[in-house]
Amino acid sequence: MFGAFRSLSPACAMPRILLHVCCGPCSLMPIVRLREEGWEVTAFFYNPNIHPQDEWMRRLEAMRQAADALNVPLMEEGEAVVPAFWVKALDGTLEEGERCRLCYRPRMERTAERATALGFEAFTSSLLYSVYQHHETIRAEAERAAEHCGAAFLYRDFRPWWRDGIALCRELGLYRQKWCGCILSRREALIQQEAAARRKAAEQEAKRERAARLAAEAEERRRRREAAEAKKRLREKWALMRGALQG
Asked whether the predicted pLDDT for residue 34 surpasses 90, the reply is yes
Asked whether the predicted pLDDT for residue 5 surpasses 60, the reply is no
Give pLDDT, residue 236: 79
Q: How far apart are CA 127 and CA 51, in angstroms?
A: 17
The model's pLDDT over 84-108, given as tens digits with 9 standing for 90+, comes to: 767 777 777 777 778 889 889 999 9
Asked whether the predicted pLDDT for residue 62 surpasses 50, the reply is yes
List alpha helices for the chain, DSSP H: 24-36, 53-70, 83-89, 98-117, 135-149, 162-172, 183-246
Q: Considering the chain, what is the average pLDDT of its residues?
A: 87
Give pLDDT, residue 247: 61
CATH superfamily, with its number, for domain 16-181: HUPs (3.40.50.620)
Average pLDDT over residues 161-188: 88
Average pLDDT over residues 14-35: 95
Give pLDDT, residue 14: 58
Is the separation of the CB atoms in 6 and 146 below 8 Å? yes
More confident of the two residues 52 and 94: 52
More confident of the two residues 156 and 93: 156
Omega of the bond leading into 15 within 30 degrees of 0 (cis) = no
The model's pLDDT over 108-127, given as tens digits with 9 standing for 90+, comes to: 999 999 999 999 999 999 99
More confident of the two residues 39 and 247: 39
Average pLDDT over residues 44-48: 96
Distances (CA, A) of 89 to 22, 48, 86, 133: 20, 12, 5, 21
Average pLDDT over residues 218-241: 85
CA torsion 52→53→58→59, rounded to 10°?
70
Nearest CA to 50 out of 26, 18, 88, 78 is that of 78
Residues near 195 by Cβ (< 8 Å), separated by ≥ 6?
none
Out of 31-40, 53-62, 88-97, 230-239, least confident range: 88-97
Asked whether the predicted pLDDT for residue 13 surpasses 60, the reply is no
Distances (CA, A) of 164 to 25, 31, 170, 220: 11, 12, 10, 52
Q: Which pTM does this prediction carry?
A: 0.73
Quickly state the pLDDT bin for 180 (edges 50, 70, 90): confident
Is the separation of the CB atoms in 120 and 152 below 8 Å? no
Domain ranges of the chain: 16-181, 183-247
Distances (CA, A) of 46 to 6, 21, 119, 170: 23, 7, 18, 24
